[in-house]
Chains A and B, each alone.
Chain A
Amino acid sequence: GAVVSQHPSWVICKSGTSVKIECRSLDFQATTMFWYRQFPKQSLMLMATSNEGSKATYEQGVEKDKFLINHASLTLSTLTVTSAHPEDSSFYICSASGGQKIQETQYFGPGTRLLVL
């Protein structure tokens, strides 16, 4: 299957700093990428959807000025958590889909664990 990578796999930062997380599709072109967040013992919650070359669509309740998403190429999307606070500590997971077939499948990255002190 297709491979999606994330970097870094984990990050610890101080409150008030910004953190950038990269999501890459390694062996396919991702026309659409998704960003999810998962708190302990909870399911994945979609944060935003991004299509290459256009602005991301954010889910209700997700601050677009705080979670900046850039999908500049067909293999790379970035999520920047600006002015991070302890409540932003979570497991951030991206997924990617691509191709022309309607049955295209979303493939997920391994996730990035963020801890804000």
Chain B
Amino acid sequence: DAKTTQPPSMDCAEGRAANLPCNHSTISGNEYVYWYRQIHSQGPQYIIHGLKNNETNEMASLIITEDRKSSTLILPHATLRDTAVYYCIVGGNAGNMLTFGGGTRLMVKP
């Protein structure tokens, strides 16, 4: 699986959009980009995933660059409960193992 690079930490003001970047320059053509988050002392929560096209669901939007070498997770209106570690992972499909990196620790501040 391709490796990812994320900033170790970010701050965001409550109510503002949180934009979390991820670099995955070695991603291969059949690999998806997955985003999970882990709130303290809980199991990871699935957020969104995509292959080539941008995706949006009730939680977030995923913007993937045309060359697929990077992506951005957007939380449109961050709340205090969005404070968590966000993991960007690339992989063939969910039947394969997910390799977790260090993630980005997002702190939403009032």
Contacts and interface: CB of A to CB of B under 8 A. Distances in A.
A110 B41 CA distance: 8
B102 interface: yes
Interface stretch (B21-29, B60-68, B73-81, B90-98): B90-98
B43 A109 contact: yes
B43 A31 contact: no
A108 B95 contact: no
Interface of A: 1, 4, 6, 31-32, 34, 36, 43-46, 49, 91, 93, 95, 97, 102-111, 113
Given A43-B103, A105-B49, A32 B44 contact: no
A115 B80 CA distance: 30
B101 interface: yes
Contacts of B101: 43
A65 B108 CA distance: 43
B93 A108 contact: no
